[in-house]
Amino acid sequence: MSGHKHPSTIPIVQIAIDPALSAYRAEINYIWRALLTGMGYGWRESAWGKEPVTVVYTATPAQAPPARIVIQARPERWAAPAKVRLLGARQWQGYDLPLLDGDDRQTQPVVENGSTFVAGDPIFAAFWLLSGYEEDQYPILKHGYRDLSDAPMLEDGLLRRAPVSAIGCWLADLLQQCGLPAGLPRWPYGARLAASCGHDVDYPEVVRWLEPLRILIRQGVGGLGTALDVLRGRRTHWHFRSWMELEERIGARSAFYFVARKGSLLEYATGLPDPFYDVQAPHFRALFRELSAAGWEIGLHASYRAYTDCKLLIAERTRLAAASGQPINGNRHHYWHLDPHRPEQTLLMHEQAGFRYDASLTHNRYLGWRRSSVWPFFPWHRDLRRPIRVLQLPTGWMDDHLFGQRRFNPGDRQALLNELRETVTRQEGLLLVDVHDYVYDDALFPGWAATYRTLWETLATQGGVWFAAPAAIADHWLQRMAHIESVSEGLDHNSL
């Protein structure tokens, strides 16, 4: 990002952490850093009981040293996060915060002698959701998809309310009630939220004898005319320019994620669903030149099995960089296909492959935020006990959620998207969506492109939105984070 000046002062939160929590300090430091960074506050850690501070985080609030805010920690949860269960949500000052097993729905922060006491450990809840303990509890389906049937995350609509960044917003409000100034804004140019789209490029070229059959399966006999059009070559999936024109009208830029491994029909038929195109073909090279000249980003759509071996992922990134003549900073996995049992292993590979950001932590079936945050974050690695150094840009909506996966997301389409828009606006977050490249033609995919266009037009009308390509958003966030860290002390990643 150029041209954007950060304010010279960032408000600092004095924080002290109970030595009784020392066994979990790596995790505790991680989540406090993630929350404070999102909130726009720097931190200065004080030795326990040495001086009055803004916030103490303690297992025994009654014995806490003087602080404006005293937050209770639940060491038994930190000791066994896999045993914790989500019950639903509770309302605190207008935010939907997670309600975990053992929490009292009625509990609210209490002000006594000028200090605010918070019970129920929302800090742990933020860690637990952001690092994926909640999603671990659901059955794993084909392609690594999760079945959230009957889960509060789905039933109570929590997926659409991003309870982790909600905890950050609630905490920021609490700090301001204690007299601290507002935190560093999250987005440049006075914007309240950021909006971005990554188009997964799966089928930019139709197989002329096969695609008509697929249309008939999808649309029935009503699709006969369109199927014939495709058979005769009158309709195609090659709509890069159409998307560019749509976005140009709004002043938006987006990314196109390309698969750099060429699959085949035979592979497809035998269970390896990689696309059939070759990024090294001359018409793709010409397309890459056109996209980048106009300010669109080119990213990797890692192939279906790329997660199984870091060498494959690196080779794909290298191949796309060579074909497009530029470094590839961002990634999203085809089919959201991460290691089904240990997604963090795939996220760690992104670090080894040298990506700056990834955008793959999304439920294929359900719209909303899989890790409960509308703020970018570094994912936690449980075994290494450190954050993975590749920024995760959370994708909140994929077009297919409201079409192919419609039965898992009942309700009015625009109402569901409005709920996402309201959450992002309220929490001043990022609305990153996934709209496939091949769904532009309204006859082939009725309503798909229009749904995206309506959402983007509504945002543009709403105002205060920074429309940018995902890589620009990641760069801004990393720069902002470096600025916050440069004025902060303590909560170190390696203080084990």
Q: Name the site residues for Zn ion (rule: CB under 5 A).
A: 200, 202, 334
Q: Is 115:70 a contact under the CB 8 Å cutoff?
A: yes
Q: Which residue has the tokens 């359900």?
A: 366
Q: Which is nearer to Zn ion, 366 or 378 (CB)?
A: 366
DSSP, residue by residue, 115-140: EEEE-S-HHHHHHHHHTTTTGGGSPB
Residue number with CB closer to Zn ion (121 or 200): 200
Task: Report d(CA 211, CA 170) in Å as an integer.
Answer: 50
Spatial contact of 357 and 329, defined as CB atoms under 8 Å apart: yes
> What minimum distance in Å lies between the beta carbon of 202 and Zn ion?
4
Residue whose entry in the numeric block shows the structure tokens 């793709």: 284
**How far apart are the C-alpha atoms of 128 and 22, rounded to whole Å?**
18
- In the bound state with Zn ion, the residue whose beta carbon lies nearer, of 71 and 306, is 306
Closest approach of Zn ion to the CB of residue 203, in Å: 9
Beta carbon of residue 379, minimum distance to Zn ion (angstroms, whole number): 21
Closest chain position to Zn ion (CB):
334
The least distance separating Zn ion from the CB of residue 226, rounded to whole angstroms, comes to 22
Which value, to the nearest 10 degrees, does the dihedral of the CA atoms of residues 442, 260, 195, 205 take? -10
Amino acid at 310: C
Q: Which of 439, 472, 465, 430 is nearest to 297 (CA)?
A: 472
Give the total residue count for the chain: 496
User: Which of 202/399 has CB closer to Zn ion?
Assistant: 202
Q: Which of 411, 423, 407 is nearest to 365 (CA)?
A: 407
Q: Which is nearer to Zn ion, 202 or 316 (CB)?
A: 202
Comparing CB distances to Zn ion, the nearer of 122 and 198 is 198
Minimum distance from residue 273 beta carbon to Zn ion (Å): 8
Cβ at position 385, least distance to Zn ion in Å: 32
Give whichever of 334 and 370 is closer to Zn ion, judged by the CB atom: 334
Q: Closest Cα to residue 437, out of 429, 427, 448, 446? A: 448
126 vs 132: CA distance, rounded Å: 10
Nearer Cβ to Zn ion, position 378 or 438? 438
Give residue 70's identity as a one-letter amino acid code: V
**Angle (nearest 5°) at CA 65 between 18 and 169:** 70
